[in-house]
Amino acid sequence: MDKSEQINSVAMNIIMEAGDARALITDALLAIEQNHFTEAGEKISQAQKKITIAHSNQTDIVQSEIHGDVFPPSLLFNHAQDTLMTINSELLMSRHLLKIFHMLDKRLSNLEQQN
């Protein structure tokens, strides 16, 4: 496999893993909407594993370049990095939303019990 094929293959792996993470994040947000916080947490954990794999693939290329293994410019790899960064941000936001909505649900339950 030449360098162009190699970087494009890695890029596609990043995009696929990150895309799987996005689907899991979407499922987690839907679970949050329904107050299924345990399920949401599980989906977020699964998404984190996918993002970790994608990030590892990206890091392998960066480390290779640091050690002198030069790859040709790749629009697909740039897209993969952008996708990874965007979905990683979505993951961060979903973690915070889970905490916020779980806390609000507990507070509302406590208020309802007082009345």
Query: Is residue 20 predicted with pLDDT exceeding 90?
Result: yes
CA–CA distance, 30 with 35 (Å, rounded to integer) = 9
**pLDDT digits 0-9 by tens, 35-51:** 999 999 999 999 999 99
CATH number (domain holding residue 89): 1.20.58.80
Given the structure tokens 């410019």, which residue do they identify? 73
As for how many domains the chain has, the answer is: 1
Decide: residue 17, CB within 10 A, 0-12 exposed, 13-18 middle, 19+ buried.
buried
Q: Is the pLDDT of residue 115 over 80?
A: no
Residue among 69, 75, 53 nearest 2 (CA):
69
Domain range enclosing 15: 3-114
Query: Residue 36 gets which letter from DSSP?
Result: -
